Chain A
Amino acid sequence: MAEIVYLDNAATSFPKPREVLERMIDLYAAKGVSPGRGGYDLALEAEEMVSAARRRLCRFFGGDDPARVIFASNATDALNLVIQGLVKPGGHVVSSELEHNSVLRPLHHLRGKGLIDYDLVPFDARGFIDPGDVARAIRPNSQFVILTHASNVLGTIQPVEAVGAICRQRGIPLIIDTAQSAGVVPINLSAWGASAVAFTGHKSLFGPTGIGGLVLSRGFDVQTTRFGGTGIESQDPVHTQTYPHRLEAGTINFMGILGLMAGMDYLDSQGMEAIAQKERTLARRLWQGLAQIPRVKLYGTDRLDQRLAVILANVEGMTPADVAAILDGDFGIATRSGLQCAPLVHQRLGTGKAGGVRFSLGPFNTSEDIDLVLEAMGKICTGK
C-alpha cells in the first residue's frame, strides 16, 4: 500500500492499530458464535462477552444501567433509533445548525410526514451554540433536545453540560451525539443530566466500522421501532420490552463488539488524555502554519483547547474539491472536502455548496506529517 498522510480521522480512524485487528480476529475465530441465542457453553461465553462490553461502555459513558447500552451499526443508526423511538405526532424537537445529517435528515423526514416540527439553534462565528438559545427554543410540546457534542466540521466542543442543566430544569430529555468526541473528550451522561448518548466505534474508539450504539439513562424509555428475534420470550408475538432487547432485533454485530472492546483496550493503553494532547499539539502546529499562508482561510475559534483536532480550511480562488484532489494526487495527503454531511454548518459559514477542506488528525500523525501538509498547502497557494 502506498504511504499516505491520513488526515480524515473524523470520518474514520485509520490505520487501526494492528493489535486491535488481531485481537478482534483471534477472539472471533475462537468465540464467534451467536451470542445470547443457544444454551451451549460457547454461546453463553459469547453472551457474557457482550454483557461485559455493555458494562464497560456504560462506565465509559457515565451511564447507570448496562442493560440500557444498545448496540447499533454506527452513530447514525443509533440516532435514528432514538429519534424515531421518541417522536409523537404534534411534537417538537430542538437541535442545532451544527448537526450532521444523521440528525438533520431524520428530523426533516419526520417533519415532512407531518409528525413533528423542530427548531435549530444557530452557532456563533467561533463555532459554538449558546445554551440560552436552546432554552428559548424549547416549547411546551418539545419532546427532546438533540445536539452534537463536537462539530464534525469545525471540531468545536459544545457546552452540553450547560444545556443539560437547562434540560433538567425544564424536564426535557437531552440526547447527545458523541460520534466525534467519544474517545477524545470524557463523557458523563449522568453528571451532565443527559438522557442518552449515541456513539460510534470506528472513530476515536479505534474499533471497526459497523458498530456503534446508544447509552440510555435509567427511566428514559425509547419505543421499539424494529422488531424481530431477540433470543428471549420467543413464544410471544410482541417484541420484548426488556432492555437491551427492546431496541435490538436480530443477531448483533459480535465481531464489531469484539473489535470495539479491543479498540478501547488500545485507548486505555495509550491514555485518552495523552492521545488528545498529542492531537491538540499537532493541530496547533497545523493551524498556526496554515494561518501564515496567503489565500488560506480558516474557520471557527483559534482556541484549540476548545475543539477537537479538526480544522476546516479553504484556499481563495480554488474549489475545496480540487484542493483536496491536489493534496491527494500530488502530495499523498488524504483529507475530506465538501460539506462533510453537515450542510447547515457551511450555509452559516458562507462556504455554500462547495464546503471546505477538513483536516482531521489522529494519534498516528506526526509533526513531519504536518510539515508536509504546510509545504503542500504553500505550493498550492503559490501555484508552484
Chain B
Amino acid sequence: MDQPAEASRPAGPESLQVQVRSLAGREIVFDSEGFLSDFRQWTEEVAGILAQESGLEALTDTHWQVIRFLRDYYLQNGRAPLHRELKKGTGMSLLEIESLFPGGIKQGARRLAGLPNPKTCGQS
C-alpha cells in the first residue's frame, strides 16, 4: 500500500507540489507536508493509517475526541478553531493535545483530522 507517486501537476513552488497516494482503496492527494489537499477525501480509515504512520499503534477515544472536534468545527465554520476554541471544545489544554499526537498539534492532530495545511508559516 501507500507508495507515494508524483501527481501530474507541473513542478512549482514547494507549497504547490502534491503527492497522490493510494490509501484505503482511494487515490488521495496530499501536499508536500503530508496534509490532505481536499478535506472531503478524509475518512476514519485514512486517519487511522496516517496515525500508524506517525507512530501511534491505534487512535484512542481521546485522539478521536480531538479529531472529531476539529472536523466538526471546520465543517460548521469553514476554518480551523482558534486556540482557545480548541481548548474549550476538547476540554484539553493545548499542551495535552500536543503531547497526545506524534507531530504535535499541527503535524499531528490537525493533519490526521484532514484539515488543510494552514497558509501562514507560523500557524499551528
Contacts and interface: CB of A to CB of B under 8 A. Distances in A.
Interface of A: 2, 318-322, 324-326, 328-330, 336-340, 355, 379-380, 383
B34 to A, nearest CB: 13
Contacts of B123: 321, 338
Interface of B: 82-84, 86-87, 93-95, 98-99, 103-107, 120-124
Contacts of B99: 383
B122 A322 contact: no
Nearest to B98: A322
A319 B106 contact: yes
A319 B107 contact: yes
B122 A318 contact: no
Given A325-B94, A338-B121, 4 more contacts: A319-B104, A322-B104, A329-B86, A355-B121
| Residue in A321, A329, A339, A383 whose Cβ sees the most chain B Cβ within 10 Å | A329
Contacts of B95: 326, 330, 379-380, 383
A325 B121 contact: no
B66 to A, nearest CB: 13
Contact of B120 (A320, A326, A338): A338
A378 to B, nearest CB: 12
Contacts of B93: 326, 329-330
B120 A325 contact: no
Contacts, number: 64
Contacts of B120: 338
Nearest to B33: A353
B104 A329 contact: no
A104 to B, nearest CB: 14
Contacts of A2: 84
If over half of B's interface residues share one DSSP class (helix, strand or loop), that class is named, otherwise mixed; here it is helix
A329 B121 contact: no
A2 B85 CA distance: 13
Contact of A330 (B82, B94, B104): B94
A320 B124 CA distance: 9
A318 B104 contact: yes
B111 to A, nearest CB: 12
B96 to A, nearest CB: 9
B58 to A, nearest CB: 22
B122 A355 contact: yes
Given A319-B107, A330-B93, A379-B95, A324 B86 contact: no
A324 B123 CA distance: 8
A1 to B, nearest CB: 12
A318 B104 CA distance: 7
Nearest to A335: B122
Nearest to A384: B95
Contacts of B86: 329
A337 B122 contact: yes
Given A319-B104, A319-B106, A322-B105, A336 B122 contact: yes
A338 B122 contact: yes
Contact of A321 (B82, B84, B87, B106): B106
A380 B99 CA distance: 10
A339 B84 CA distance: 23
A355 B124 CA distance: 13
Contacts of A338: 120-123
A329 B84 contact: yes
Nearest to A353: B121
A329 B106 contact: no
A322 B124 contact: yes
A337 to B, nearest CB: 4
14 contacts: A319-B104, A319-B106, A319-B124, A321-B123, A321-B124, A326-B95, A326-B98, A329-B83, A329-B84, A329-B87, A329-B94, A338-B122, A355-B121, A380-B95
Contacts of B104: 318-319, 321-322
B64 to A, nearest CB: 20
A322 B86 CA distance: 13
B121 A328 contact: no
Contacts of A321: 104-106, 122-124
